[in-house]
Structure 1
Amino acid sequence: MFDRYKDVLMHLSEYSHNVFRKGYFSWLLNQCKGWGTFSYALLTFNFVLQVISLVQSISQAPLQSIIAFIGGNLSVACVIGISNRSGIQGWAGAISAICIATTGFMAGNFATAWEQIGYLLFLDLFCILDPKWNNDIQAEKFESWVEWLKYLIFFGAAWAVIYFIFSMTSDPRVFLDSLNLAMAITGSLLELNRKREQYYVWTISSVFTIALWTQTMLQGDGNFALIFSYSIFFLNDMYAFFSKHGWFKSTNE
């Protein structure tokens, strides 16, 4: 389960050459080429929505609006990069995680902020150091309902602990905030174990995250930026469910 992490950490100086090498930035730029029409359409659609959000909110909260604008665009670029097996996902994910975590702390959504820090430390940095992180992934599906039960119990326990911890903070939306972090941890565990059922978790997580940032906006602590970006995630999940090349059409995708 943790072989990739171990390999990168044990050979850190070797993997650092993947970043500090001649032509690295040209290589990164080329990673944004050759994506499907649907991917470019989502990226463009999200950018238009992010501009609308920025214009709508910048006069009330300029710093938060700009940070959310950057995070909203790069988070979608990261997810689309993952869908296209693109090496850009590491940097896009890392910078967006910093932006969304900052926005989360500013809005009081502390669990969501720590969720992004977790992505930065345990996913994005490793994707930067090892651009082939997602290569040769063999997805598996649950063999019985017992596996569903195990992960449901794990999710329930994680949510209870997270809710207890963040209820001791000033988090104004602790119910939804802790729920999102518990779902993210469960989804990440499914991802580490290469289970296809993770897509159910990520899709449901997108819905609850949209609800969280909608509540945040209505209470005056946020704007449309992250509502828009997580709505794009949801569309991307729907594509993964129903397209002929989607997640459930092949165990190798």
Structure 2
Amino acid sequence: MFERYHDVLTHLPEYSKNVFRKGYFAWLWKQCQGWGAFSYALLAFNFILQIISLIQSFGQTPIASLLSFIGGNLSVACVLGISNRSGIQGWAGAISALAIASTGFMAGNYATAWEQIGYLIFLDLFCILDPKWNDDIQVEKFESALEWVKYIIFFLVTWGIVYWLFSMTNDPRVFLDSLNLAMAITGSLLELNRKREQYFVWTISSVFTIALWTQTMLQGDGNFALIFSYSIFFLNDMYAFFSKRGWFRLEERV
């Protein structure tokens, strides 16, 4: 389950040579090429929406608006990079995680902020160190309904613990905030185990995250930026479900 982490950590000096090597930035730029037309369309559409959000909110909360703008654009680039198996996902994910975490702390969405820090430590940094992190992915299906039951129980227990922990803070949206973190942990566990059913969790998570940032905006602690970006995630999830090139159908080609 943890073989890739063990390999990178035990050979860290070797993997560190993958960063800023000769031609590294040219390689990163190449990683942004050859994506599907749908991915480029989503990237451009999201950028336009992020510009609108930045203009609308900058006068009131300039720092939060800039952080949301950076996080909103790069998080979408990261997710689309993952969909296209692109090495750009590491840096895009790391920078967006820092921006969204900062936005989350400023808005009082503490669980969401720590969710981003978790992505940074356990996913983005390893993607940066190992450019082949997503190579040779073998997607598996649940073998029985019992697996659904196990993961649902895991989610409920995790949500209960997370809710209890963050209810001791001044998080103004602890219900949705803790729900999103619990779903992220469950989705990450499914992803770690290469389960196809992770896409159900990520899709539902996108919906609840949109609800969280909508509530945050209505209560005066946010703007449209992350609502837009997570809406793009939802569209990308739909692509994963229904497109023959989507990761949801990856098992048909392995």
What TM-score results when the alignment is normalised by the length of structure 2?
Answer: 0.98
Q: How many pairs does the alignment contain?
A: 253
Question: What residue identity is the alignment partner of 2:153?
Answer: I
- CA RMSD across the alignment: 0.8
Shift of residue 43, structure 1, vs aligned partner:
0.2
Structure 2: 5+ residue stretches without partners? none
1:88 corresponding residue in structure 2:
88
In the alignment, is the contact (CA less than 8 A) between 2:199 and 2:248 conserved in 1? no
Q: Which SS does the other structure have where 1:60 is aligned?
A: coil
Question: What residue identity is the alignment partner of 1:75?
Answer: S
1:37 corresponding residue in structure 2:
37
2:122 corresponding residue in structure 1:
122
> 2:237 & 2:56 partners in 1: Cα distance?
27
1:166 corresponding residue in structure 2:
166
2:75 corresponding residue in structure 1:
75
Deviations 1:6-37 (A, max 9, x none): 00000000001100311101110111011111
Shift of residue 249, structure 1, vs aligned partner:
2.7
1:110 corresponding residue in structure 2:
110
Q: Which SS does the other structure have where 1:127 is aligned?
A: helix
> 1:249 & 1:15 partners in 2: Cα distance?
31
Q: Which SS does the other structure have where 1:248 is aligned?
A: helix
Matching of residues 1-253 of structure 1 within 5 Å: 1-251=1-251, 252=253
> 1:53 & 1:247 partners in 2: Cα distance?
30
What TM-score results when the alignment is normalised by the length of structure 1?
Answer: 0.99
> 2:75 & 2:250 partners in 1: Cα distance?
26
In the alignment, is the contact (CA less than 8 A) between 2:31 and 2:87 conserved in 1? yes
Between the two proteins, what is the percent identity of the paired residues?
80
Q: Which SS does the other structure have where 2:250 is aligned?
A: coil
Structure 1: 5+ residue stretches without partners? none
> 1:213 & 1:249 partners in 2: Cα distance?
30
> 1:172 & 1:88 partners in 2: Cα distance?
34
Shift of residue 130, structure 1, vs aligned partner:
0.2
Deviations 1:30-49 (A, max 9, x none): 11011111010000000000
Q: Which SS does the other structure have where 2:59 is aligned?
A: coil
> Which range moves more in the overlay, 189-198 or 238-247?
238-247
In the alignment, is the contact (CA less than 8 A) between 2:83 and 2:247 conserved in 1? no
> 1:249 & 1:87 partners in 2: Cα distance?
21
> 2:157 & 2:28 partners in 1: Cα distance?
40
Question: What residue identity is the alignment partner of 1:142?
Answer: F
> 2:226 & 2:212 partners in 1: Cα distance?
10
Following TM superposition, the consecutive aligned residue runs of length 4 or more in structure 1 with deviations greater than 6 angstroms are none
